Amino acid sequence: QKEVEQNSGPLSVPEGAIASLNCTYSDRVSQSFFWYRQYSGKSPELIMSIYSNGDKEDGRFTAQLNKASQYVSLLIRDSQPSDSATYLCAVNFGGQFYFGTGTSLTVIP
């Protein structure tokens, strides 16, 4: 059973703070990991992909991967109200994506 788990939230942070989103997965073989943002009523939008252990930074977003702990996280620095959305973690198992249930983030002005 391939499992991807996220805290459903909701997670609330004040504007300008760092939002930290976490994801764990069950399969040690997985090699690629993705974070998507989904606004209500819209389809997911790719934010970050990460393939190797460590940190990957892109603007205000940093993805962190620890394969030994089967853990991937997303940090959002200087959070903005426009970052309020559901964030989906996706793990590639054998060419298919399996999604977590998503974490709802609200950035409070």
Partner 1 sequence: GAVVSQHPSRVICKSGTSVKIECRSLDFQATTMFWYRQFPKQSLMLMATSNEGSKATYEQGVEKDKFLINHASLTLSTLTVTSAHPEDSSFYICSARTRTGSMEQFFGPGTRLTVL
Interaction site with partner 1 (CB under 8 A) = 32, 34, 36, 42-46, 49, 88, 90, 92, 95-102
Nearer to partner 1, 2 or 15 (CB): 2
Tell me how far apart the alpha carbons of residues 94 and 2 are, in angstroms, rounded to a whole number: 11
- Which amino acid does the sequence have at 9? G
Taking the complex as a whole, how short is the minimal distance between the CB of residue 89 and partner 1, in angstroms?
Answer: 10
Place of tokens 């609330």: 12
Whole-number minimum distance, CB 97 to partner 1, in Å? Answer: 6
Residues 6+ apart with CB under 8 A from 9: 103, 104, 105
Report, in Å, the least distance between residue 19 CB and partner 1. 19
Q: Which residue has the tokens 């054998």?
A: 94
> Which CB, 33 or 73, lies closer to partner 1?
33
